[in-house]
Structure formats: structure tokens, C-alpha cells
Structure 1
Amino acid sequence: MEYSKLKSGTDIRGEACENPQGLPVTLTDEVVEAIAGAFLKWCEKRLGHPAEGLRIAVGRDSRISGPRILEALKRVFIRYGVQGLDCGLASTPSMFMAVKNLPCHCSVQITASHHPFYRNGLKFFTEEGGLDSPDISEILAYAQQGLCPEKECPGAWEEVCHMQTYALGLREQIKREVNGEDYDHPLQGLHIVVDAGNGAGGFYAGEVLEPLGADVSDSQFLEPDGMFPNHIPNPEDKEAMASISQAVVRAKADLGVIFDTDVDRGAAVDSTGQEISRNRLVALASAIALEKAPGGTIVTDSITSDGLKTYIEETLGGRHHRFKRGYKNVINEALRLNKEGTDCPLAIETSGHAAMRENYFLDDGAYLVTKIIIKLAALRKEGKDLKSLLAPLREAVEEKEVRLPILAEDFRACGQKLIDSLEAYAKAQSWQIAPDNREGLRVSFPKGEGEGWFLLRLSVHDPILPLNIESDASGGTEQIKEKLLGFFRSHGEGVDISPLERA
């Protein structure tokens, strides 16, 4: 077993049960136990605390392999003297908060986010936040070497109800920030549809919103079911968003909210059924964050629209800092900017990962949705709604995303060479290269020449060149596509351009 293959950014992920693709199970009990021992070794080195007496909280999402993986972790942790705290079904963000609230030295969440039912994985937290990519590499290297604590001694295991504490914190926040006439029921009269996609987010309807007076009777897919029988629990999935939109319209609700499997991402739907996701979600989160940080800087990933930049900088009076794709990248960039003295209250990726400074820069879908609901309650007092807040946002007329496979064995070198060649080509064509480009190559075009932009970048993990194209004019993406094909047909050696030709 090559453990490094289980690395997925800042997570460990693999196949955890039999699957339709016939892929071999990589997260076996033996593998999980080796990773558990390696994590304890990492804790001894990085936290300066022997495995004996470590307090470690463990939670899981609703995947069918979760209980098995939890038992494998439990066996190892107890063997080496860990005081284990079993949080049961839990959201990923709550497992970071467990470190703060229980308290404990660190925590582990068993999840594979929005991936298919047969995949699973592990995320790790300390008081400093989620472990980063180098930490995961180190743990997997220890597992490969079979490293684990030297001393065995009996540990202990107890079940705790941390999700109730986490939900209470969200309820108290809503009470405090809405500060309604009926303080204990600030959401009285609001009709909200919650879609948990049969993941870990069902608690939000019954344990957060309903006790505060909200009508959640038309919520759907709240029951945990690790086979995800209704739709993929993913706010980026078209079927999932269509489902929550239809539910809101059908119920004549004021708002719909949807979570991914482990609730580190969320999105919303307004009373008309219009999605508040991607650029609209970034815009709304920015409006909320900049209320307490006027003139502040919003960090986003690289594929946000030109209209969003205008909204943040001209409508909201903030600053927009585009950075690399990957939620951990934008969070780390926001942390860096704040450390250097830049007022940065929010890091957010278009996928729905949103991390606010006021919440430890933790990407928490339930926290984001809570802030949206608080904002909705405030707007209603003024006779307004979310739609009016987002009205100034200029949205693209057309958009395309194409993924170009890199065929060369050294895919990173091939991909970077092609991006460099495209940059030289763009300069020769007098194309407008974005001055704030921090990933790949972003180029804008004026009216008559596509009236939009493209971004070509190298995928973080895969032999792929993702290409995003947006235009503010009908037919504009086709114009930009044809300009790019002119380049690729003469410079695209080592890359399969057929997806772009078909797009």
C-alpha cells in the first residue's frame, strides 16, 4: 500500500467499501489503524504531548463506512492511552469547535465531503485549526514506515453530545444578533426550508431553527443516509440546487438553505427560488462581512467574476483579492494578509467554503447560513429582502467550464509550459492580462471581442488544465473560445483540446 496516494490536499481520502466501479478498497481497517498510530506519533512530535492522556474527539458524517472506520480509530487510540470522546454523527466544523469547547487536544472527522457514498476519509484538527498539506504528508509518511507511539497503556472511550452544544452556540448567536422583540423566538414568522441531502446537516432544522420559532415543516432529506438516495449533498450540484429551489417555491418559503455532506459548505435560495451560490453567495457573504469591517479585503479563489469584483469594490466599498483555487489556499492567504496588517474579514471559495475571521477562519456552512438568516431578519425589519441586497451585482450572461486533459507524463511541466506560452501569445495579441492574476493566466476582452474573460490554470492534484470562460454578452463565450482554439491548435502539444472543441 502506497499511503501517499491517500492524500487529497489537506485530507486523507480513499475507497472505503465495495463500489459500482469495482475499485479496490484502500481504507481498510489495517490502513486506518496504521494512520491512527501515525497521527498519534505526529501529535507526540508536534503537540509535545505523549499519546497517553491525549484527549481526542472523533466524529463522522453519515457515510455507511463511518462506523467501521470509527471503530478502527478507537482500537488504536485506546491501545495507546488516549482519552477518546465519541461525538457520533457530527459536522466537520463542529469537530474543530470540539477542540475549543469540550475541550480536547485535537479531533478527527471521518468524512469525504461530497464524494460518492463508497469513498471516505479523515480530517484532523488542533487548536490552531485544520491540519495543512505538509502535516498530512508527514502523517502518511509515518504510516508508510509503520511508526506509532512506543508505549502501550489502556485508554478510555466515552460518548459525548457535542453537537447539542454546537447547535446551542448557533441558536444563541441568532438571538443575540437579531435581538428581536421576542428575544427567545427571533425567527417567528420565517418559513425556511433546510435540505441536508441525507448528510450530517439535518440538525440545523430541528436543533437550531425550529426552537427559535422558524417554520421548518417543508424541510427535506434531513435523515442521515450514507447512500444519499435523493441527490448528491453538494451545493455545486445542479440537481441538488434545483431540488432545494423547487422545494422553496412549492412551500412559498422565505428562504432555502442547503449543505454538503459534512456541513463545511452551504448555499441558499431566495424566496423566488433563485440560487444564492457561487458568485452570488460570495457577494452576499462579502456584504455581511464588510458591515463590521468597512473597506476590508475579501479573499476569493481565482474564478470569481468581474461583476463580483465591481460589487465588492464599488457597491460595498471593500477590496477584492483574488487568489488560488482551494479553500485552504484562500484561508491561508487571508491569515497571511491579516498578519501583515491588512483588514481581511472573509476568505471564500466559489464552491461554498466560507471562512470568517470572527469564527476562527473556520469554513463552516452552518455558520455562513446562520449569518445569512440573521441578515435576512434584519432586512425584513426594513421591508427589504436578500434579492434587493444583491440587485447591484452584475452577473455573467454566459459561462463555460472546460477541463483539458494533459497527456504528457510530466503533466505539471507540460501544463505550466502551455500557460507560459499562452501568456506570451496573449501579449503578442495585445490581449488584456489581469493585473491581479495569482493563479494561471486570466485575460479579459472588451465589447465586440467577447466582452468577458478566461482563466486557464493547472489543477492542484490532477493532470488537468481547467479553463473557465465568462461573458457579459450573448455569444461572447463562443468568441473567446475561438480565440483560444486559434492558440491551442498551434501550441497545444501534450494536451487533449477536444473538450474545448466540443464545448
Structure 2
Amino acid sequence: MEEIEWSKLLSGTDIRGTAIASQDQEINLSQEAAFAIGFSFVKWLEKDLAKKGEKMELAIGNDSRLSAGKLKLALAKGIKKAGASVYSAGLASTPAMFMSTVLEGYQYDAAIMITASHLPSDRNGFKFFKNSGGLEKEDIKAILKLAGEQGTEFFQSMPKENINLEKIDLISAYADHIKNVIRKGLNPSVNSKKPLADFKIVVDAGNGSGGFFVDQILKDLGADTKGSQFLEPDGNFPNHAPNPESKPAMKAIQKAVNQNQADLGIIFDTDVDRAAVVDSTGQEINRNKLIALAATIVLENNPGATIVTDSVTSVGLKEFIEEKLGGVHHRFKRGYKNVINEAQRLENEGISAPLAIETSGHAAFKENYFLDDGAYLVAKVLIKLANLKAESNQKIGDLISDLKEAEIKKEYRIKIKTEAFKNYGQQILTDLKEFVKKIESWQLAPKNYQGLRVNCGAKDWFLIRMSLHDPVLVLNIEADKKENLDLIIEKVNEFLGKYDKLDFQKLA
């Protein structure tokens, strides 16, 4: 077997790699790697949970990726070699796998979800959970280190034959959990048995794991779901990328809403930890609009609370949360785990922070274990949908009609051409501070938790930051007028053009 480069499998708080070979990529998330990772996860858990010598129980689930079956089998072999029991949840969602550690009747010691979220079909990966939540980056490093310490004899010990895995119907239990959440949130005047009986709701699952939401949740709650699409799991993702941030994906669900005259459209990513919605007019409620909607729902019962978001949210969103809703907007870092950890930190300091949400659609509610759960986010929207009809006949889109967004939004990704890209990128950010001081009307934002955000007048701004994982500078710009955008781009071109280790052509 080829040498495994364990450090290259680290991706934030996940493990990710190439699981199907192509002309451009060799496999690095192999069955041998999965075998060692399964074994090492159990050994790491024994120390972390102080359960050395005790028989532990783990659950494994997967999304629709083509490589899921062989990776699951290898993981399970490693888990069993380490002395733990393992159960197969089959096709599942990432949030459901976490819930397997807390739901009554399950409550396993830990769980693994086999997924690479929205990445291409040749990629795959693992997400790890205990009942306290997802693992941190340092935990993943420790597991990979343990895996790398296993010798040749260990890999040769992986059984060649298949093993039988006991199957569990976790997704049905998880669907029941979501239905209970919806029913408990309804006003007394709403029919709790069939609260969605008056609504047509269409779902786009992107051929990932989210199809269960139609048959096991919406239909049971009375909704008309005719027009839902791409519910069948297919790891080739033949219709569009399973990603609510993808423009073709969003256009697909908008088209479904309009063609079926639906009251609501729902779109999930592959493993259902992210979601977005479309209202009855076909309006996309994603990114800043999705945060505004979630904040509206949360602040009703948590007046004055803090909403934690990532770093690229708009000026208009801050005004909406603070001036319209009376909350506090805390703009933090990119990365769903970053915003979740920051909300938990604030809570530990006595500051109410019931929602951590990223513009990508990762939304974690304090009341739901601070778990980023697309189905739970949609459940909160469905509760509001049903209650609004009973209270005032308002529609979901009406709740965010006062949100003001910039007319022009741009994102650029600029590669750094040096192995020392972190130091090089940091030097650029340091130099930018001095550059900004020379430009009248430009000011650094008062709090920069990630990169540098520069205010360029009343509403216009840009943010330059390092990518979380790649040798890339990411530039986000928002402006109300084209001439304002052109001025920002002119100055940014002047600044970045000095750096010879950037793969840089003038921005347009």
C-alpha cells in the first residue's frame, strides 16, 4: 500500500480527501486510511471518555456518495478491531448522526457521518460526534496522529471479507424528533396534527440525503409536496451541485416554487446540515436574508440577545438585527465551528447568544445543542409559516421586507504562490492597515476578528481574509453604486498589484 499523508486529510474539524480516483486526483482517503481512522477514533475516545476497557457503541451513517459503502465497511472494521460495537444508520444526515448520541433509545458513545458536504462526487470525508457536540480541530489532529502511528502489520490485519453490520432506523427517529419540535412550537389555534394542511411546500434535496424530509415529515404534517425534486439519492449529483449557495441549485428550487405555485421552497445540501428557503413570490432567502429570517424568529423569544454570524455579513443586516429587531449583531469569523464556538463562549460569559449562523446556511440554535442542522432551521421556519397564517395571514417574506442589502456584491479568490502562504498573506493584511490610513473616507472596522474589513463610506465595504484551508486570499466587496465599486476595485488593484507571489490579474 502507498504511504498515507495523514496531514492532508485534515480539513478544519473534519477529515476529507479523494475517495474515487480520476485523471487529476489519486485516492488519498483509502479503505486502509478509513480502517486506521476508525480504530484510532475508538482509542482516542477511550481516553477522552475515560472508558478504557469498557465496551463502547458507535453509529455510522452516510450521505449518497458513491464511495460511502466501502469507506463505511473499512471504518467499521477498524472500530471493531479496537473493541467497540458499531451500528449502521444507512443513508442519514449529519445532524441525525449527532442525535444518535442523545436521542432516547440510541445514546451511543459516539457517531461518524461519512460525507464531504457539497464537494464533488469523487471526494468524501468523516465528521465525528460525541454527545457534547462535534469534535474540534485539535481532536481530529490527535486521531490522525494515532492513525499514522499504526505500522504495516496493522494495515495487513484489516479483514478482507465483509462484516455484517447491525442496521438501525435512525432517520425515522430523527424525523419524529423534528416533527415534535414543530408541533411544540405551534400556536394553540393551529391544528397540531396537520399544521401544514393548507400549504404547498416543495423540496429540492439535490440527490443527497434530504429526501426523507418530504415523506417522513412534510407529508405527515399535512403538506402538499407535489413538485418536490431530486429526492432520490444519487452520488453522481446529476441535476446540480447539492449546495444552497450554488446559483444553479437556487434557480432550480425557485423554478419549482414558481411552477407549482408553492407557499415555500426548501433546499438542502448533501448531508442536510445546511438549508435555504424560497418564499411564495420566488424570493431567494439565503445568506443575509436567511440570517435575518432566523434572527427574527429567535429574537421574538429572546429580546435583546446576540446573534453571532460570520465575517462577510452586510451592513444592512447589522442594521436590521439591531435597529429593527432590537438584538445585537456580533460579526465574527468564517467557519461554522468558529461561529458556534463563539456563541458558546458568550453564553458561558453570561451573554445570551441563542443563534450562531453562517452565510453559507449553517445555523445552530442553543435550544438544539448548538448543532448546525438544516432540518431544524427549516422546522423553525415551518413553525413560523403556520403561526403567521393563523395570526395575521402574513407570509414568510414579509418578515424581512425591511432588510436593506447592497446592490452589488462581489467575491474574488486570489491564489498565493508560495509554500509560506500563511506568513505571506498575513504580511499583506499588515500592509493593508497602513494603506487604508492614506485614503480619506476609508476606515478599518472597529472589530476585526478575521482578516481586515474596511468601511468605504456609509454602506460600502470590503473584507480581505485568508481562506480557512487553502493558499488563497478571499476578497468580498459590497457597494450600492457601480462608481463606488469601481473606486474600491481601483484602490485594491493598486494595493495588491505590488505583491509578486500573488496569482493576480487586475480585478474587474
Coarse TM-score class (shorter-chain normalised):
over 0.9
Q: Distance in 1 between matches of 2:482 and 2:348?
A: 43
1:176-255 correspondence to structure 2 within 5 Å = 176-179=184-187, 180-255=189-264
**Given the alignment of the two structures, is residue 433 of structure 1 paired with residue 440 of structure 2, yes or no?**
no
The one of 7, 14, 17 equivalent to 1:4 is 7
Q: Deviations over 1:290-337 (max 9, x none)?
A: 112100001000000000000010001000111111100010011101
Correspondence for 1:265 = 274
Correspondence for 1:464 = 472
Q: Distance in 1 between matches of 2:28 and 2:451?
A: 33
| SS of match in other structure, 2:466 | coil
Q: Distance in 2 between matches of 1:28 and 1:306?
A: 45
Q: Are the equivalent residues in 1 in contact too, given 2:38–2:77 (CA < 8 A)? A: no
Q: Are the equivalent residues in 1 in contact too, given 2:308–2:357 (CA < 8 A)? A: yes
The one of 96, 116, 120 equivalent to 1:116 is 120
The one of 49, 71, 74 equivalent to 2:73 is 71
1:287-298 correspondence to structure 2 within 5 Å = 287-298=296-307
**Given the alignment of the two structures, is residue 389 of structure 1 paired with residue 396 of structure 2, yes or no?**
no
Q: Which moved more, 1:426-435 or 1:309-318?
A: 426-435
Q: Distance in 2 between matches of 1:309 and 1:103?
A: 39
| SS of match in other structure, 1:99 | coil
Shift in Å, 1:439: 1.0
Shift in Å, 1:79: 2.9
Shift in Å, 1:156: 8.3
Shift in Å, 1:488: 2.2
TM-score by length of 1: 0.95
Q: Are the equivalent residues in 2 in contact too, given 1:195–1:244 (CA < 8 A)? A: yes
Q: Distance in 1 between matches of 2:190 and 2:377?
A: 24
Shift in Å, 1:497: 2.4
Q: Distance in 2 between matches of 1:253 and 1:221?
A: 17
Correspondence for 2:102 = 100
With over 3 angstroms needed to count, the CA separation of the structure-2 counterparts of 1:51 and 1:353, relative to structure 1, is farther
Q: Deviations over 1:96-149 (max 9, x none)?
A: 00000111100011100001111111111001100010001111111111188x
**Can you give the 5+ residue segments of structure 2 that lack an aligned partner in the other structure?**
none
Correspondence for 1:399 = 409
Q: Are the equivalent residues in 2 in contact too, given 1:398–1:476 (CA < 8 A)? A: no
Q: Are the equivalent residues in 2 in contact too, given 1:401–1:467 (CA < 8 A)? A: yes
The one of 351, 363, 370 equivalent to 1:342 is 351
Correspondence for 1:16 = 19
Shift in Å, 1:77: 2.2
| SS of match in other structure, 1:304 | coil
**Given the alignment of the two structures, is residue 380 of structure 1 paired with residue 414 of structure 2, yes or no?**
no
| AA partner of residue 420 (structure 2) | D
Q: Deviations over 1:212-262 (max 9, x none)?
A: 100011100011111111111000000000000001000000000000000
Correspondence for 2:318 = 309
| SS of match in other structure, 2:411 | strand
Root-mean-square deviation (CA), in Å?
1.9
Shift in Å, 1:52: 5.3
Q: Are the equivalent residues in 2 in contact too, given 1:43–1:51 (CA < 8 A)? A: no
TM-score by length of 2: 0.94
Q: Distance in 1 between matches of 2:16 and 2:496?
A: 34
**Given the alignment of the two structures, is residue 417 of structure 1 paired with residue 427 of structure 2, yes or no?**
yes
Q: Distance in 2 between matches of 1:51 and 1:98?
A: 22
| AA partner of residue 62 (structure 1) | S
| SS of match in other structure, 1:291 | helix
**Given the alignment of the two structures, is residue 169 of structure 1 paired with residue 177 of structure 2, yes or no?**
yes
Correspondence for 2:129 = 125
| AA partner of residue 473 (structure 2) | L
Q: Distance in 2 between matches of 1:75 and 1:460?
A: 32
Q: Are the equivalent residues in 2 in contact too, given 1:78–1:157 (CA < 8 A)? A: no
| AA partner of residue 502 (structure 2) | V
Correspondence for 2:60 = 58
Shift in Å, 1:438: 1.2
Q: Distance in 2 between matches of 1:338 and 1:421?
A: 35
The one of 134, 142, 147 equivalent to 2:138 is 134
| AA partner of residue 401 (structure 2) | A
Q: Are the equivalent residues in 2 in contact too, given 1:398–1:470 (CA < 8 A)? A: yes
**Given the alignment of the two structures, is residue 496 of structure 1 paired with residue 503 of structure 2, yes or no?**
yes
Shift in Å, 1:502: 4.1
The one of 305, 318, 329 equivalent to 2:338 is 329
| SS of match in other structure, 1:104 | coil
| SS of match in other structure, 1:320 | strand
**Can you give the 5+ residue segments of structure 1 that lack an aligned partner in the other structure?**
none
**Given the alignment of the two structures, is residue 282 of structure 1 paired with residue 284 of structure 2, yes or no?**
no
1:40-51 correspondence to structure 2 within 5 Å = 40-50=42-52
Q: Are the equivalent residues in 1 in contact too, given 2:273–2:375 (CA < 8 A)? A: yes
Q: Distance in 2 between matches of 1:325 and 1:478?
A: 26
Q: Deviations over 1:34-71 (max 9, x none)?
A: 11111111111111113651110110001011111111
Q: Are the equivalent residues in 2 in contact too, given 1:82–1:156 (CA < 8 A)? A: no
Q: Are the equivalent residues in 1 in contact too, given 2:190–2:387 (CA < 8 A)? A: no
- Aligned length in residues: 494
Q: Are the equivalent residues in 1 in contact too, given 2:479–2:485 (CA < 8 A)? A: yes
The one of 10, 15, 27 equivalent to 1:25 is 27
Taking only the aligned residue pairs, the percentage that are identical comes to 50
Q: Are the equivalent residues in 1 in contact too, given 2:42–2:84 (CA < 8 A)? A: no
Q: Are the equivalent residues in 2 in contact too, given 1:59–1:89 (CA < 8 A)? A: yes
Shift in Å, 1:181: 4.0
Q: Which moved more, 1:157-166 or 1:94-103?
A: 157-166
Q: Distance in 1 between matches of 2:374 and 2:37?
A: 28
Q: Are the equivalent residues in 2 in contact too, given 1:109–1:122 (CA < 8 A)? A: yes
